[in-house]
Amino acid sequence: MAREKIYTREGDDGTTGLFYGGRVPKDSELPRAYGAVDEAQAIIGLVRVAAGHGSEVDGIVVPMMKDLYVLMAELATLPENRKKLQPGVSCVTSEMVDHLETIIDELDTKFEPLTEFVVPGEHPVSAWLDLARTVVRRAERHALSAAPPPSHVVPYLNRLSDLLWTMARWQEGTSRPVKSL
């Protein structure tokens, strides 16, 4: 049995297909928003590698990455087709946002409150988390027009960037700084 080819050539005209049908230019608001989320997810994959599979960080980011697939499905759907989306499967729910808040609150107890601005790069994992946070913030800005209320995409991305910031600070607090030479 022949394998299906990965390429379709349909996007050669500068358009992309969407979930539940329709095509839009690749530089329009929906692909711009879900593309930034896809980029953030790839960076979070680097967080996993830096922290180590099976680590506490890994246990937090893997479900988060699965949530991002749900979020990207919603962003990859034309507004007129969003009624077809399934809560928690192909569109973000308020419970998903609340879950991020719970994790933030738990992690916030694991390090001392900051008394000064943070200079990223104290620890490899925290540096990747800070990079992921900035890409999530960009995705959030793109999502403002791509998924207006009542969508929970923007609140989810807002909380996710807060969680990534909190995780970065937590990782800095649990790491042992290397003395300068």
Higher confidence at residue 117 or residue 36?
36
Quick: pLDDT tens for 68-85: 999 999 999 999 999 999
pLDDT reported for residue 176? 38
| Residue 119 C-alpha from the chain's centroid | 22
Better-scored residue on pLDDT, 4 or 181? 4
Whole-model pTM?
Answer: 0.92
Residue 112 clears pLDDT 90, i.e. is over it? no
Tens-digit pLDDT profile for residues 13-66: 999 999 999 999 999 999 999 999 999 999 999 999 999 999 999 999 999 999
Distances (CA, A) of 36 to 110, 144, 167: 30, 13, 20
Which CATH architecture is the domain 27-112+120-174 placed in?
Answer: Up-down Bundle (1.20)
- Kindly give, in sequence order, each residue whose CB lies less than 8 Å from that of residue 83, ignoring residues fewer than 6 positions away: none
- pLDDT of 174: 56
Q: Band of the pLDDT at 115, cuts 50, 70, 90?
A: confident
**DSSP assignment letter at 25:** E
Of 17-21, 99-103, 137-141, 173-177, give the lowest mean pLDDT range.
173-177
Q: Which of 119, 122, 139, 130 is nearest to 162 (CA)?
A: 130
Mean pLDDT of 103-128: 90
Coil, strand or helix at 16 = strand
Q: For position 54, what pLDDT does the model report?
A: 97
Helix axis angle, 124-146 to 29-51, nearest 10°: 160
| Contacts (Cβ under 8 Å, ≥6 apart) of 168 | 118, 120, 125, 126, 127, 129, 130, 133
d(CA 158, CA 56): 22
pLDDT in tens, 151-181: 999 999 999 999 999 999 999 985 433 333 3
pLDDT value of position 111: 87
Quote the pLDDT of residue 155.
Answer: 98
Confidence at residue 117, expressed as pLDDT on a 0 to 100 scale: 83
